[in-house]
Amino acid sequence: MKIRSTTIIAVRHKGQVALAGDGQVSFGNTVLKHQARKVRRLYHDQIITGFAGATADAFTLYDKLEQKLEQYSGNLMRASVELAKDWRTDKYLRRLEAMLIAVNKEHSLLLSGTGDVIEADQGILAIGSGGPFAQAAALALVEHSDLDAEGICRAAMGIAANICVFTNNSIIVEKI
């Protein structure tokens, strides 16, 4: 699934986890909003999530993930796997066009409608049209800078915003 119109990145580095998203909302080639909030906390503020894709679909997935987190007492991995199963097999959920990144102290996960629950080897995940740019920048910054996870997120998002027309510099960062 190719998701345009945003950049979301999660970085796990130096004992810190940060997740960042830009604020641009585009409709085709038109920018409708500059300061949307695509990053939010779930389950008693213990989990940070970010989405790329259709907003209504993402909010549906946030609700479903929150329900799974409640059902499994905040176990992010279990809740994510169960959500991915439902997302893949449910006739309604299968049509949702969004992707999520969800992080807590132990895990950084990418969730998709194809049943994927992916935890990156290097602790960096990115989605959206600017995701590849932000991910490449973050990988370089982990190796060649002294920045912490939040600093890497901010710098990588800035680089993505300078390259991707569907990403802006109105960046929201949450960290654990």
The residues annotated as belonging to the active site are 6
Both tokens of 153, joined, read 């997120």
Residue pair 80/86 in contact by the 8 Å Cβ criterion:
no
- Helix (H) or strand (E) holding 130, with range, is none
